[in-house]
Structure 1
C-alpha cells in the first residue's frame, strides 16, 4: 500500500481533492489530503515557503507514513519538491501535477515576467496575500460552471511570502523518482527546466487532455495516473 499525500495549488486546500480521494481509497491506498498553513480551514496561520515545506514533512513524519507518494499541484510543486528530499527513505515517488518546480535559491515568482513584479504588487496591495482569481481565470480549462463556482467558493487568498521566498534544495531535483503530469489545455507546455529533468532516467512525463485543475475536471483519470506511480 502506498500513502498518497495530496497538496493542491495556490488558494486551495485539502478539499480540492475530494473527488480524487475515493478512487485512491477504493484501490486500497492510504490517502492524506493536506491543507497548507494560511489556507482554507488553516487561514490565519502565518506562513512562509519553508512553513509549507515543514507542513508536508510534519504530515509524513507525524503520521509515520512509509511508501509515500507526494503529489504537488501548481504552486505546491515547489514545497513538495523540497519536502521530497527531506523525508528520506519514506519517499516512494513524487508527482508534479502541472506544477512549478523548485530551483535552489529561486522563488515561485522568479519564473514570471519581470520577476513576478505584478504578483508582488498584488501581494503588497492586499495585505501580504495573493488575492483570489476572478471567474474568467478558469475559462477554457475544461471546467463546468458548477466546478468553477466550487473553486471560487472554496478558495482563500494565498500567503504572499510563500510565493516570494526562495526554495532550498540540497541536491539536484532530477535525482528524485518523479512523474510530471502536463495538462495540455493549461497553456504553454513544460518549460525548459521541466523538459531537461524529464529527459533524466528518474522522470516520466504523462499528458492529460484537460486544463490546469484536473482534480476537478478529470478526477478519475488523475487518480488512475496517480495509482500507476504506486506500482512497483
Structure 2
C-alpha cells in the first residue's frame, strides 16, 4: 500500500488536505497529512527553524514505520520535503512537488525571487510571515468560500524556516518524482524546478488552476497524486 505523507505550504496545516486525503483513502492508499511545527494546531510550540520542519517529516515516517512512501510538498514545504526525501532511503517510493519550491543545498526558500518585502514583513511581525489577505488570493481559481476557508485557517508562518539554508546531502534529481505546475501561478516551472525537470527521473504535470489546488481542485489533485504512483 502506498503511503502518502502530505505537507502543505506556508501558513497551513494538515487540515488543508482534508478533501484530497478523503479521496486518496477511498482509492485504497494510506494517507498521512502532517502539520509542521509552529503552524495550525502546533502554533503554540516554540518557533522552529527550517531543519525542524525536515525533522518533523522524518519523525512522522519513523513514528508510523511507513514504507512505500510518497512525500508530497506544496509551495514552501517542497523545501523540507525535498530534504527529507533524500534521507529516508528505501522507505521512499517517490516525491510529488505541487507548485513547490525546490531545495538547493545552502540556499533558503526565499532564494531566487524578490524577497525584500517578505523579509521586512517577517521583521515587522516578530519573526513571522503574516497570512495572505483575500485580495492577495485573487486570480487563483478560488471561490469565495474556498478563499475564506484558506484565510480563516491560516496562521502566521515562522520566518526562520523561510530564511534558513537547505541541507542536501545529494541532489533531489536522484530520486523519482513528479512536479505539478499550476498554470494560473505561472505557465512554466522556473529556477531550481526547471533544472530538476531535466532529470529523467522526474516528470511534469500541469493543472489549469491556481497555487492552492487542494482547495480549488481537490479531486483533480487527488487524481494526479494517484496517477503518480500508478502510471507505468
Tell me whether the two structures share a fold, i.e. TM-score over 0.5. Answer: yes
What residue in structure 2 maps to residue 202 of structure 1?
A: 201
Cα distance in 1 between the residues matched to 2:215 and 2:190: 24
Alignment of 1:1-232 (within 5 A): 1-46=1-46, 47-113=48-114, 116-187=115-186, 189-231=188-230
Cα distance in 2 between the residues matched to 1:187 and 1:195: 13
Shift of 1:112: 2.0
Cα distance in 1 between the residues matched to 2:31 and 2:229: 12
**Structure 1 segments of 4 or more deviating over 4 A?**
none
Cα distance in 1 between the residues matched to 2:160 and 2:113: 16
Q: Structure 1, residues 123-144: CA drift from partner, whole Å, max 9, x if none?
A: 1100110011111111111100
What RMSD, in angstroms, separates the aligned Cα atoms of the two structures? 1.0
Cα distance in 2 between the residues matched to 1:125 and 1:195: 33
Cα distance in 1 between the residues matched to 2:12 and 2:106: 25
Q: Output the TM-score relative to the length of structure 1.
A: 0.97
Q: Output the TM-score relative to the length of structure 2.
A: 0.97
Q: Structure 1, residues 60-102: CA drift from partner, whole Å, max 9, x if none?
A: 0110000000000000000000000111110001000000000
Shift of 1:194: 1.7
Gaps of 5+ in 1: none
Gaps of 5+ in 2: none
